[in-house]
Amino acid sequence: MKTTTVTLGHGSGGRQSAELVRFLVEGFMTRGIGPELEDAALLPGGYAMTVDGFTVMPRKFPGGDLGHLAVCGCANDLAVRGASPDYLGLSLVIEEGFPLDELKDYMESAAATCAAIGMTLAAGDTKVVPAGGVEGVLFSGCAFGKVHSPFPLGIGNLREGDILIVSGPIGRHGAAIASARFSLEVEGLESDCAPLWPAVRPLLSLGGLRCMRDCTRGGLGTVLCEWAEGSGLSIALEEEAIPIELQVQSLCDVLGFDPLYMACEGTLALAVAPEDGQKALSLLKESAIGRNAAVIGQVSGGEPKGMVSMRTSIGGERLVDMPWGELLPRIC
Amino acid sequence: MKTTTVTLGHGSGGRQSAELVRFLVEGFMTRGIGPELEDAALLPGGYAMTVDGFTVMPRKFPGGDLGHLAVCGCANDLAVRGASPDYLGLSLVIEEGFPLDELKDYMESAAATCAAIGMTLAAGDTKVVPAGGVEGVLFSGCAFGKVHSPFPLGIGNLREGDILIVSGPIGRHGAAIASARFSLEVEGLESDCAPLWPAVRPLLSLGGLRCMRDCTRGGLGTVLCEWAEGSGLSIALEEEAIPIELQVQSLCDVLGFDPLYMACEGTLALAVAPEDGQKALSLLKESAIGRNAAVIGQVSGGEPKGMVSMRTSIGGERLVDMPWGELLPRIC
């Protein structure tokens, strides 16, 4: 670690976050009781579990709120490992003086989202801290579900030639939070925050499905960098093919952000064997979140190994690296 | 709810906490996807899960620290429902500027406790918030494990005549935190923070085992009130029989606290059928945390129904009610 204290960059979801996590879990790893560092853990017996903290600010944003986000965040971590969102646990740390009505709004929103995807709130906890102990309220969620994919999905399955697909336009959650944070009203701009399970369920029948990821903090760019690094293969993207809404692009232009690294909360990246590419695309297009799904590139055995390159819309080529430092704190 | 905002009393673990929880989970309950409100949820397939937030202040205290507490808190919620502490998830919300070394200390402490009870860190998450977003660091933990009890343990099993046992002297965690908070050094006073599973495991062979609880926030008194209210039976305690260390009693006398409501973090309350009472006691006494286990009363069919009464050491009788308001914030 290059610093002695935690910095906002450690919360970016990019390379520094990965460093922080490796630093913190060292004592577990050396004892042989550490995690595999995927979105959700696959447990013996055919179950998956995940845990996630939610610190989003503002807590109500175009397209969602803290409660909806917490349920989607947890459920989506399960979905991308092929598991159904069966059981949720919610832990709330609340600042003394927080309005009960606002808190209830988030819980109501969480309940509605759970009901829509068949998820049960199995466990919960509330803690209250004196004023200043926490700014408002923090949610942490955990989720547990049955694995429905016939084989384990993960980075280890990636093969040369695999097709890369994204389920919809990227960066909408990050852009919606940024617009709310900086009071930049952008008409039609909404977070993509949504449960992925309904779109994922049919994909699990594809024998060529390799790996899926919920593009959250760090965005699509970070997910693909992790795939390239984790597999040792290279990834070739077509910039023109990556769906980006005009509103998101405009906001990024104004604020100097790269949409590739903007957070999504209901957008899936997936790799699939070439023979199942079209089938995966058409299955996705039938789902509520996947109408604008697109093939954006492929896994290649070429150079540079372990890295992501992108053919830009003007015909050049650039390397896509993990972001360093913090784009926007408290995005999720 | 009698107020419009969350108060410290809502965090006490007593009656107001129960009110807050019922208020917040209403949207889940009306949709038929709500929790059963026990320490851990029993899931189909023979598994249990739990979630818990940890806000303790100071983060290092006599007998433990935030990391050790988080593991014990989660593992103990599973243990009292008869489940082994198999998998842990940890979600950290960290304030920008927090010392990395201190954070690593808590993770190391968590890893050592996990290793001691055979628990694997399966999932984790870190979020960093700007200064002021949270005071230092908060841990939330979730845990998941296989249920080993041959039948579900819970309040519903309580029967007239059941023997009530506590595994050791009560109130030590609360007293240790209070002593650290108010800089009242008390020699020999340490939190009881410890994993309960090694003591619980042998008890599961008893056919007469009814119900167990980890006496955390709200202490032994609150647990027994919940049992009496939940079962509709009455509970009769013998004050003389309840083990309390001299240090804890002295500190409570100084600060005006009642040890009955002081938090424990490694102390078990259990109800067992009369024919298994002595066996339960002797099994507990063989465990590391149970050497001073004691029979403290019994479940009765008498009056007042749904309430706890205690024969005091001077021969009187008092009703034990759930605490109202906050004893001490950020105890766990």
CA atoms within 13 Å, Cβ hemisphere of A8: 12
pLDDT digits (tens, 9 = 90+) for A162-192: 999 999 999 999 999 999 999 998 999 999 9
- The whole-number pLDDT of residue B329 equals 86
Q: Does B248 lie in the same domain as B140?
A: no
Distance CA B285, CA B301 (A): 29
pLDDT digits (tens, 9 = 90+) for A193-246: 999 999 999 999 999 999 999 999 999 999 999 999 999 999 999 999 999 999
Residue-averaged pLDDT of chain B: 95
pLDDT digits (tens, 9 = 90+) for A255-266: 999 999 999 999
Residue B30 burial (CB count, 10 A):
12
**From edge to edge, which strands make up the β-sheet containing B268-272?**
B209-214, B268-272, B163-166, B294-300, B234-238, B308-311, B317-320
Q: Does A70 lie in the same domain as A120?
A: yes
Tokens describing residue B8:
């410290």
- The whole-number pLDDT of residue B94 equals 98
CB pair distance less than 8 Å for A52 and B4: no
Strands B64-65 and B87-95: unpaired
Radius of gyration of the CA atoms of chain A, in A: 19
d(CA A259, nearest CA chain B) in Å:
21
The mean pLDDT value for A5-30 works out to 92
- The whole-number pLDDT of residue A39 equals 79
Gap between the terminal Cα atoms of chain B: 24
Tokens describing residue A298:
């492929």
- The whole-number pLDDT of residue A234 equals 97
Asked whether the beta carbons of A252 and A317 are under 8 A apart, the reply is no
Please choose, from the candidates A181, A176, A322, A202, the residue with its C-alpha nearest in 3D space to the C-alpha of residue A263.
A176
Strands A120-129 and A87-95: parallel
- The whole-number pLDDT of residue B36 equals 85
Q: Best residue in A29, A38, A107, A129 to probe B by mutation, most B CBs within 10 Å?
A: A129
Q: Is the peptide bond before A152 cis (omega within 30 degrees of 0)?
A: no
d(CA B161, nearest CA chain A) in Å:
31
Domain boundary, last residue among A117, A146, A175: A146
The mean pLDDT value for A134-141 works out to 97
Please choose, from the candidates B109, B173, B171, the residue with its C-alpha nearest in 3D space to the C-alpha of residue B141.
B109
Distance CA A97, CA A100 (A): 9
Distance CA A265, CA A262 (A): 10
Share of chain B above pLDDT 70, in %: 100
CATH of the domain at A262: 3.90.650.10
Gap between the terminal Cα atoms of chain A: 24
Residue B51 has pLDDT above 80, yes or no: yes
Asked whether the beta carbons of A39 and A143 are under 8 A apart, the reply is no
Q: Is residue A271 part of a domain?
A: yes
Which residues of A fall within a CB distance of 8 Å from B101? 4
Q: Is residue A32 part of a domain?
A: no
Strands B41-43 and A317-320: unpaired
**From edge to edge, which strands make up the β-sheet containing A41-43?**
A41-43, A47-54, A137-146, A87-95, A120-129
Q: Does B299 lie in the same domain as B165?
A: yes
Question: Residue B73: in which H helix or E strand, if any?
Answer: helix B66-79
Of A40, A95, A123, the CB nearest to B49: A123
Q: How confident is residue B64, by pLDDT bands cut at 50, 70 and 90?
A: very high
Which residues of B fall within a CB distance of 8 Å from A20? 126
pLDDT digits (tens, 9 = 90+) for B145-195: 999 999 999 999 999 999 999 999 999 999 999 999 999 989 999 999 999
Q: Does B230 lie in the same domain as B206?
A: yes
Q: How confident is residue A278, by pLDDT bands cut at 50, 70 and 90?
A: very high
Q: Does B313 lie in the same domain as B164?
A: yes
Q: Does B130 lie in the same domain as B52?
A: yes
Q: Is residue A79 part of a domain?
A: yes
- The whole-number pLDDT of residue A323 equals 81
- The whole-number pLDDT of residue A213 equals 96
Distance CA B123, CA A145 (A): 14
**A143-175 per-residue burial string, b: 16 or more CB within 10 A, e: under 16:** bbbbbbbeeebbbebbeeebbbbbbbbbbbbbb
Nearest CA in chain B to A77: B123
Note the ipTM here.
0.95
- Chain B, 80 to 139: residues with Cβ < 8 Å from chain A are 86-87, 89-101, 103-104, 107-108, 110-112, 114-115, 119-130, 132-135, 138
Q: How many domains does chain B have?
A: 2
Q: Does B188 lie in the same domain as B121?
A: no
- The whole-number pLDDT of residue B139 equals 98
Length of chain B, in residues? 332
Of A89, A128, A330, the CB nearest to B129: A330
pLDDT digits (tens, 9 = 90+) for B93-122: 999 999 999 999 999 999 999 999 999 999
Residue B1 has pLDDT above 80, yes or no: no
CB pair distance less than 8 Å for B51 and A90: yes
* Cα dihedral A100, A104, A106, A107 in deg (nearest 10): 140
- The whole-number pLDDT of residue A241 equals 98
d(CA B42, nearest CA chain A) in Å:
8
Q: Is residue B288 part of a domain?
A: yes
Q: Is residue A93 part of a domain?
A: yes
Which residues of A fall within a CB distance of 8 Å from B121? 25, 28, 33-35
| CA diameter of chain B | 58
Q: Is residue A330 part of a domain?
A: no
Distance CA A320, CA A261 (A): 10
Distance CA B313, CA B241 (A): 9
Radius of gyration of the CA atoms of chain B, in A: 19
pLDDT digits (tens, 9 = 90+) for A102-126: 999 999 999 999 999 999 999 999 9
B53 close contact with A: CB closer than 8 A: yes
Q: Is residue B240 part of a domain?
A: yes
Q: How far is CA A133 from CA A190, A329, B8, B133, B219, in A?
A: 31, 18, 12, 8, 23
- The whole-number pLDDT of residue A90 equals 98
Share of chain B above pLDDT 90, in %: 89
- The whole-number pLDDT of residue A14 equals 82
Q: Does B227 lie in the same domain as B138?
A: no
Distance CA A324, CA B97 (A): 17
Nearest CA in chain B to A42: B122
Q: Does B273 lie in the same domain as B205?
A: yes
Backbone φ/ψ region at B315: left (φ over 0), alpha (ψ -120 to 50), beta: left
User: Locate tokens 């829509």: which residue?
Assistant: A116
Q: Does A164 lie in the same domain as A281?
A: yes
Which residues of B fall within a CB distance of 8 Å from A91? 51-53, 91, 140, 142
- Chain A, 5 to 44: residues with Cβ < 8 Å from chain B are 5-8, 10-11, 17, 20-21, 23-28, 31, 33-35, 40-41, 43
Nearest CA in chain B to A30: B111
Distance CA B298, CA B302 (A): 11
pLDDT digits (tens, 9 = 90+) for B220-265: 999 999 999 999 999 999 999 999 999 999 999 999 999 999 999 9
Which residues of B fall within a CB distance of 8 Å from A133? 55, 57, 134-135, 330
Amino acid occupying residue A95: E
Q: Does A142 lie in the same domain as A162?
A: no
- The whole-number pLDDT of residue B180 equals 94
Residue A135 has pLDDT above 90, yes or no: yes
- The whole-number pLDDT of residue B68 equals 98
Q: Is residue B8 part of a domain?
A: no
- The whole-number pLDDT of residue A328 equals 83
- The whole-number pLDDT of residue B210 equals 98
Alpha-helical runs (H) found in chain A:
15-24, 26-30, 66-79, 100-117, 172-181, 197-203, 219-231, 246-255, 277-285
Q: Does B80 lie in the same domain as B56?
A: yes
Residue A73 has pLDDT above 80, yes or no: yes
Nearest CA in chain B to A145: B43
Domain boundary, last residue among A96, A118, A146: A146
Q: How far is CA B117 from CA B78, B88, B211, in A?
A: 12, 11, 22
Share of chain A above pLDDT 70, in %: 100
Domain boundary, last residue among B122, B146, B170: B146
Containing domain of residue B309, as a range?
A: 155-320
Amino acid occupying residue B291: R
